[in-house]
Chain A
Amino acid sequence: MREGVVITGIGTVCGLGIGADALWDGLCAPRSAIGPITRFDASGLRSRLASEAPEFSVRDSVPKSYRKATKVMCRDTELAVVAARLAALDAGVRTRGSDEADEGFEISGERLGCHIGAGLIAAETGELGRAQATGLDEDGEFSIRAWGSVGDEARGAMENLTPLWLLKYLPNMPACHVTIVHGAEGPSNTITCFETSALLCLGESSRVIERGGADVCFSGGTESKLNLVGMVRLEHAGRLATTPVDQADRAGSEVVRPYDPQSAGGVAGEGAGILMLEGMGHARGRGARVYAQVAGFGAAQTRTAVDAIYGEPVERDEGLSDAILSALRDAGITAEQVDAIVPGAQGAAALDRAEAGALSGVFGERLREIPLVTISPNVGSCVAGQGGLQTAVAAMCLHRQMLPGRIHAGRPADGLDAGAADTRDARLTYVLVCASGLGGQNAAIVLRRDEG
């Protein structure tokens, strides 16, 4: 008999604020966190809007003995470390990194896993540029020979990079720092599949718990592409709306229009969504509050994804349909039983069309009756972090039996319940979360209401 898996803690950081309540309240308002980029000089970029997370100090989220290590944390790691601590506190799981939860449940390190999705993390342009500027030739061009340290032409320019420079930007650092802060010695992984990363991590954590490899896992994703390199990459990936010069101050809420064929594109966000997944027996045994059960997980590859990136986008993402069907099978339910969907819905017209095509392939005519909970107009697209935020929202919908309001300044394609809406009560038993990533990986998770 496989162990059931439940969600007992939620930790999120995104443009709408720090903590799951800030995310939920912002969605319900509904409020958009999208605005002009302030964190760096984005004046030369084609897309100059973003959803930036509010100020925080990661030092407050780690034990005193670990504060020094925060110097080698990049933004993606900081977001994950803050979100993970919130998740542990929320779950009442006491670790060496969440000691303020004195009355919580103390978990053995070996039974605590950690799966955090991430992206390629771009080195800070300034940090590298400053060092590279000390290694120029007579013409002011970068000189690889001056960069090195041995021989007559060497000027040792690379030594102007901090020794731990590489370790700051490895994609596994968010997960590794979280394992260290919390003493999580169980199975650990870093999945890097662009927008699908977090859902694949949540699926993998569920499988690990199910097969007895851990009792509790930190699981989800983190990413901030809010830097020069990251933004250019997202542009190349066809994710971002161009910001016209005269519209730099345009209300963010007007830009991202999920499933609207006229949508100008998506907007970058930054965020981490980390959940505490826990074995059902373990959670019940300690009397934990359960947000929702993880009823099913499925993943699949779109074979033609690479062609679509450089050529014609597809009308219907078959891999996404396959992933959803597989998750429904895993949950032992039919498409008829799904009450709401939290999809990717980035606002990039070609991606949204392929996603809607996949949903329509699975749900048919009934799709028009299923509310689509879109969060990109509020928090932007947080890439590897997005699936964590989506799943957090789905779990809160089930727990509160509510659907948050929706922002939409245009009109979604016919047959989709994705337009502007107010927050409302809803009777929800099954909520589906799904994502497709650049590169063609797709994943879906079915959450079920927990009735104790």
Chain B
Amino acid sequence: MKNHLHTLKGAVVLALGLAAASATAQAGGEQYFPLQSYRVGPYAAGGTGFFGGFIDYLQYVNLKEGGVNGVKLTWSECETEYVVEKGVECYERLKKGLNGAPAAATNPLSVGIAYATLERSTADKLPLITINHGRTDSTDGSVFPYVFPLQLNPYSEVSAIINYIGQKSGGLAKLKGKKIAVLYHGSPYGKETNPILELLSKKYGFQLVSLEVPHPGNEQQSQWLTIRQQKPDWVILRGWGVMNPVALKTAQKTGYPADHIIGNIWSNSEEDAAPAGAAAKGFISITTHPSGTQFPVLQGIKKTVLDAGKGNLADAKRFGTVYYNLGVVNGILNVEAVRLAQAKFGKKPLTGEQVRWGFEHLHFDDKRLKEVGALGLLQPLQLSCADHEGGGAVRFQQWDGQQWKVISPWVQADRKLLRPIIEDSSHKYAKEKGITPRDCSKES
């Protein structure tokens, strides 16, 4: 018995020693991505798709290139269930890195968690990536050096939608006298764009009808009856989760045509349209990244990761869907930031502060997009100290009953109009918090 115990003890010590050695060995050359993911709960469909795509891209870079310049990418997940408190807890748990590998950035894909960790991220010098969402005024990097609403902030989103409606009406001047309804989720996310829509309605002379749908949005009869009574020319759907298919079903029930409803960036996935069945046919939404698997980067992921049985998706049919592709796009942007930062700070694992520099110098033109196999998947964008959004353009897609079909070229938001509003808000924030904005002319 004693011998057995001795052998067991020896084995445990050996195993612990090997584990420690392997952790140390990894720590020398790994860059860590802490993932505040959500795979259960009401928004799990979005979480599994997004984090599936993100992880598959990181895996792809490891398998294809051996990491970024030899620095392997590593990650671990912490389940948030999209709950803010859990998101903050996960942030605190993961921010210090993994086995000595430093954290590059956090990507919570949640407005609530992003707001709750915004100041911590700045204090910890860890970039907070809020791709296609988040606080609009964090576009101003002089006040928010560590926050990046990459590609599209909420103001740009609605501005691009109004520009598209203008195009469809024969020019922005023709918006005068039109009626546009916005059906928004009853949350800070849903309400964020209301002031901008009001501003745009005054600028272009259209009548705005704003209707709130209380969370989670599984009953919308009264809102859609009001829409039927008001007879708007277009309805902008600013939904999330279950609110989207219910909106489409109720629109059908009350006789409003789906092809005059334009979904925003969180109303644009297969999970938003498909559950509505026939009611969704013709529904239009914006996107920053089309669904589909034809892009070289997705083909590469399929060949290198999925076909090798190393994919992250539980349901392989979701490969190439909107949420998955957003995860891939997010992966491309994160990895590119690490790559750029390595060019400045050396080919080694980097601190969050160093990776932040990489994000701030992201520059994707057509040539670079082609090199990473994402031409057409990702819009050309360039970030800077002052501009943490970088793109501000969307395309429009239409649901044909089975899948999304892109129906427009890139439509740009009116960023010149929005910039002073963003700066007003960010400077107000700076004043409240006692922040001295960076002088971006002196940043390199």
Our verdict on whether A and B bind, yes or no, reads no
